[in-house]
Structures are given as C-alpha cells and as structure tokens.
Structure 1
Amino acid sequence: MSFTSKVVAFVWVALSVALIALAAIGYDEQFRLYFSNAQQTASSLIAALLCLRTWAAFPPASPLGRAWGLIGTGVLSWGIGATIFGAYPVLHGGQDTPYPYYSDIGYLATSPLITAGLLVFMRSTGLTTPTWGKVLSLLVLLVFGYWSFNANKEGLFEGDFATQLSSLCYTLFDPVLLAVTVLLASGFRGGVIGRAWWYVVWGVVLYFFANQLYTYLVLAESYVTGSWIDAGWMLGFGMIAWAAVTTKRMLQ
C-alpha cells in the first residue's frame, strides 16, 4: 500500500476518533452536527469513488467488476442521502434533520445494492458456503432480524405511513445484508482476494450496527447528529474503501 494511502487512512481514522472523543466530552452540539455531517458525506462519497474506480479497472464483462460497481453504487446512494441529510441543518438554522426525510431514500437503497454486489462476488468466484456458515447466517438473520424489529418497532406501529414504510425497509434490508455478509465470510479460504474482502465484511458490520443504533435512538428521540455512533458509518465506509484500493492494486 502506498504512503499516500496510509496517510489518508490514518486521517480517516483520526477524524472518526475525534468525533467519538468530542461526543464523549459533550462538546458543542452545533459544531459536532456540522463536523459529523461533513465527515459522513465526505467519507461515503470518497469510498464510492474508490469502489467505482476499482470497478472501472476490471474488464467490461467482469463479474468481479460488476460486484464492485454495485457496491460502489450502494455507497454512492448513501453519500447522496448524507448530502441531503447534511444540507437540512444548513438550510434550517441548525435544526436536526427529521426522520424520515428524502435522505432516507438514498440510505434505504444502500443495503440492497451492497447485498447484490456481495452475491455477484460469491457467484463469480465460486465460493462455497460450508454448512456451518449457512446455519450461522440463518441465526444471524433471525437474531438481528429480531433486534432490527425491536429497534424499528415504534416506527412500524406508531408513525405515519412514511415512517412505517421507512422502518419496514430498515427492518428487512439490514439483517438480510448482514446474513449475506456472513455467508460470504464463511466461504473465504484465505488468499489475497479473501484478505481484501475481509475489509468489506467488517465495513458492512460497522455500517449495520450504526444504522440500527441510529434508528433506535431516533425513534426514542435520543439521537443528535454528532453522536459517537456516527463514527460507525465513517469507519465502515473506510473499510470498504480500503478493500477497493487493495483490490485495484492487485490488478496493476
């Protein structure tokens, strides 16, 4: 990995840690709101750019390239959502973005697109999931499906139609993404490609937990932008970006 890539990774992690520290000491909420929104938008858009750059490095008909294209599009969708989310406080005197909002359209498209990318990767590489991996994936789907249901329960039963629809999609999409991620990870047999895709796996895990904690806290009216959980998205997309850079480097 180049020196520049290592410096960018260090800065990426340092900014995420800084946000966690600022939230822990209760630093000015207005500053954390803009600081977090800027980081979320930048990290997702940069990660999307790196994924799509990796997609472009593959031959046009390559299924591996298509996998990176889907993942990159998913992350880009999240970045567009983050841009809309971050623009709201700027245009409304520092108020937190309501839930649901137009930004959730971008957010909700992310998990299905990344899931599709992971499935294309599995099919194109011929990964075989062992029996224990299938069992674990099913358990993950059930356990985290239940967790996701509880995190979104208030929105599912007590909100307006838009809130109910958003909560239903978050309830379904994220656990499926995590279960497919487990299927993928259990089929790894080592090697350079496997090592690169482990970063994708950990990135998805961080993304999932940040999503669920966010939804739970929003519905409990306890979330403010600039919370420590925001770092989960930044670090998650950082992991995916690192995997994309590593994969592109293998092609050179």
Structure 2
Amino acid sequence: MSGRVLSRYTVLMVALMLGSVAVAAGLNYFPVLGDTVALWAADLGSVAVVGLAAAIVVGTAYCFGKGQPGRLYWMLVGVGAAMYALGDLVWSIYELAGNEVPYPGLPDAFYLAEYVFLTAGLAYAAWSYRSLGDIKMPLALSGAVGAAAAGGLYVWFLNPLVLSDPEIAAGEKALGVAYPAFDVFLAFMPAVLIILMVSRLGWGRFGWPWWAVAVGVLFIAASDTAYAWLAAVDRYESGMILDYGWMLGHVAIATGALLARDVTRVPRA
C-alpha cells in the first residue's frame, strides 16, 4: 500500500458491496425473472448487503493490534450492523412465508439492538480521541447539531405526520419517534463529535473514516424517518427506494472502517 492512501483491499470490498446493492436493486426493479424473485431480492438482498458490511467491519477490526482502541470500537460497530442484518433476516422469514410482518415486532428488537452496539462503539471511539484536547467545545457543537436535526425532524415530520395522527397506535408512534431520534442522538451526534475532535489534526485523511460513518448514519436516518411514517399508515412495501438507504448507509459505515484501516496503516496482530 506504499504511496497510496487506499489499499486494493478497500477498493475491492467497496466495489463488492456496491455491486451487491446494484444486483439486489436490479432484480427488484427489473423483475425479468418474475415478481417472486423480485420479492426475494428485495428481502434477502438487504440481508446479504448489510451482512456483508457487518462482516467487513468485524474483519477490519481484527486488522488493528491487540489493545488498540480501533479493534474494540470497530468490533462494536460491526456487531451492531450484524444485529440489523439479523432483523432483516427475521423480517424476510415472515414475509417470504406469506405472513404479515408485525410492527412493532421481533424484527424491531434486532433493529433497535443495533443502536446499543453502534452507540457504544462510537462513544468509545470518541473517548479514545480525548487526548487530542478538551472535549467540551466539540461536545457542545455536536449537541447543537443534534438538537437542530432533532428539531427539524419534529417540526417537519414527527409532529405533523406521526404524533398528530389519531389513527396511528401508541406502539407505532413510539417506534416512529424512536428510530429517527436514536439515529440523531445515538449515532449522528457521536459521529459529529468524533469528526470535530479528529479535525484538530487537520481536515485531512484522518477524518475520512468518520465522515463516511456520518454519511452512512444520515442515509439510515432518512430511511428510518420515511419508514416510520409509511409503516404506521400501512403503506410500506419491501423493495421501496428507502430500503436502499439502509443498505447504502451500512455500506458507508463499512467504508469508514476500511478507510480507518488504510489511513492508520495498522499491522495485523
């Protein structure tokens, strides 16, 4: 990798993930093999793409030496992505068997579990950068960004479309608020905090992994926001364009892990 920022491995893995998204989308939106194959592609395509992203993040974590913070926090992020893939697998089992997917239901338990691991990983990553300087200002700025994002979600989406609708059940409203709120406060804010802390080293390549993570979280947040409303009013169907926001979001997070491996040029333990 001498002389290059990106390794061949990173380029290959990103191409593999994006290619998997393209295949899943192609089989779904151009159902030349029939509607049944299109549904299988929509459901299992997400399982495959996010599962691949999770495996790449976990594998990349092991590229960091024992005792290095990167091994633990990327491992936690990877396990979080695996939780999401398991949620998609459970969803697929329901749907492909011809059963209605409950909302709230078992898939949501796995989707929500992702936040536990993702937040723990990002929080530990932020803590590992504490030696770069005082954390108070980055924490305040990331909090302000999160508050602005949460305020926008509430004013333009959550209140008018979910909370004010008397026909949406209480459990559905709770999930409708939880997903975008968790995206903002438990994922996006920590990612912004890390970006601000790493920026003390300059706005160069050491910030690239966390920009990728932040972009990934935004993709996931956009899809979660759309899904929360569509599911609450029974308009969501597998294979809608928002599905690819979840896929691309996890691809971006996995890309962040790969970039972290490259920019730090860590040896295997």
TM over 0.5: yes
1:145 shift after superposition: 4.8
User: 1:40: which partner in 2?
Assistant: 46
The unaligned stretches of length 5 or more in structure 1 are none
User: Alignment partner for residue 218 of structure 1, among 205, 209, 231?
Assistant: 231
The unaligned stretches of length 5 or more in structure 2 are 1-5
Aligned CA RMSD, in angstroms, stands at 3.1
1:136 shift after superposition: 2.4
1:80 shift after superposition: 0.8
How many aligned positions are there? 249
Matched, 1:69 2:75: yes
Give 1:106's aligned amino acid. F
1:21 shift after superposition: 6.6
Give 2:112's aligned amino acid. L
User: 1:180: which partner in 2?
Assistant: 190
Equivalent runs, 1:119-198 vs 2, <5 Å: 119-126=123-130, 128=135, 129=138, 132-146=141-155, 149-150=158-159, 152-153=162-163, 158-159=168-169, 161=171, 163=172, 165-170=174-179, 172-176=181-185, 177-189=187-199, 190-198=203-211
What are the Cα deviations for residues 198-234 of structure 1, in whole angstroms up to 9, with x where unaligned? Answer: 2111111111111111121111222110111111111
Q: TM-score by structure 2 length? A: 0.77
User: 1:251: which partner in 2?
Assistant: 266
Relative to structure 1, the CA distance from residue 14 to residue 51 in structure 2 (aligned partners, 3 Å threshold; closer, same or farther) is closer
Q: Is the 8 A contact 2:191 2:214 kept in 1?
A: yes
Q: TM-score by structure 1 length? A: 0.82
Among all aligned residue pairs of Structure 1 and Structure 2, give the percentage whose two residues are the same amino acid. 22
Matched, 1:241 2:247: no
What secondary structure does 1:204 align onto?
Answer: helix
Relative to structure 1, the CA distance from residue 60 to residue 156 in structure 2 (aligned partners, 3 Å threshold; closer, same or farther) is farther
Cα distance in 2 for residues equivalent to 1:141 and 1:192: 29
Equivalent runs, 1:48-59 vs 2, <5 Å: 48-59=54-65
What are the Cα deviations for residues 18-66 of structure 1, in whole angstroms up to 9, with x where unaligned? Answer: 6667777798654432112122111211111222223333344333322
Cα distance in 1 for residues equivalent to 2:41 and 2:55: 21
1:106 shift after superposition: 0.5
Relative to structure 1, the CA distance from residue 167 to residue 138 in structure 2 (aligned partners, 3 Å threshold; closer, same or farther) is closer
User: Alignment partner for residue 112 of structure 1, among 99, 113, 116?
Assistant: 116
User: 2:3: which partner in 1?
Assistant: none
Give 1:183's aligned amino acid. L
Cα distance in 1 for residues equivalent to 2:23 and 2:164: 32
Deviates more, 1:47-56 or 1:152-161: 152-161
